Amino acid sequence: MVLDSIKGSLKERGVRLTRQRQILLELIDKTGEHLDAESLFQLAKEKDPKLNRVTVYRTLKMLKASGLVDELDLMHYVGDQHYYETRLKQEHAHVICLRCGKVEEFFGEPLQRLRKQIESHFGFQVLLARTEVGGYCAHCQTLRAREVEELRMLTLGAARPAAARAPRKRARRS
């Protein structure tokens, strides 16, 4: 459905939908992942070995300029890397684990309420909202708690006086 809307938008703009652009659009829309340009290139190359990086970058630039694809930084988890997704999706927030990089998408009424609050508070017409939330997923919270506990135990061990840490020698009986 989103892909059909994008194709229609390109056609309206007089942009030809080449086989290579079709491959890239399908990958962006249907993989269910947030792909960076290099990952997109590698996946697209599997489908069309003749496809080159320049085509990927030019297509991404054109789709971005046309307002059909969003370029995301996802809290800069991997440095300056950028990721792409179709813009015609329902508005949503990206929830990023700052430890493992897992990205979840959050859809729902709270985002719409936030948008309405911003519009009413500032007298602002929101055309595009992009929300990112960084934190730790449940799995990484567990790992962090374990690490903190291990560090605490190590610190406690190092804080004991040397005499208390040294193994005691038994006195010899003659």
Scored b (16 or more CB within 10 A) or e, 143-157 reads eeeeeeeeeeeeeee
Range of the domain at 153: 90-158
Residue 165 counted as domain residue = no
Do 134 and 98 belong together in one domain? yes
Domain boundary among 49, 73, 89: 89
36 lies in some domain: yes
Tell me whether residue 23 is in a domain. yes
12 found inside a domain: yes
Question: Which segment of 1-5, 94-98, 135-139, 170-174 scores lowest on mean pLDDT?
Answer: 170-174
- Asked if residue 115 belongs to a domain, the reply is yes
**Is 30 in contact with 3 (CB distance < 8 Å)?**
yes
What's the total number of domains in the chain? 2
Per-residue model confidence (pLDDT) at position 100:
92
- pLDDT of 20 reads 87
What is the DSSP-derived secondary structure letter of residue 97?
E
Q: 49-56: long-range contacts (C-beta < 8 A, 24 or more apart)?
A: 51/20, 51/23, 55/20, 55/24, 56/24
pLDDT of residue 106 exceeding 80, the answer is: yes
- By C-alpha distance, which of 83, 107, 105 is closest to 94? 105
Span of 3-17, 20-34, 50-64 with lowest mean pLDDT = 3-17
Burial state string for 117-134 with b = 16 or more CB within 10 A and e = fewer than 16: eeeeeeeeeeeeeeeeee
Q: Output the pLDDT for position 58.
A: 92
pLDDT of residue 161: 59
Query: Residue 7: phi, psi to the nearest 5?
Result: -60, -45
Q: What is the CATH number of the domain that holds 39?
A: 1.10.10.10
Is there a single domain that holds both residue 38 and residue 112?
A: no
Position 64 scores a pLDDT of: 87
Q: Is residue 174 part of a domain?
A: no
Residue 169, domain member (yes or no) = no
pLDDT of residue 155: 86
Q: Which of 12-16, 38-42, 60-64 has the highest mean pLDDT?
A: 38-42
pLDDT > 90? residue 47: yes
Mean pLDDT score, 59-71: 85
CATH number of the domain where residue 100 is located: 3.30.1490.190
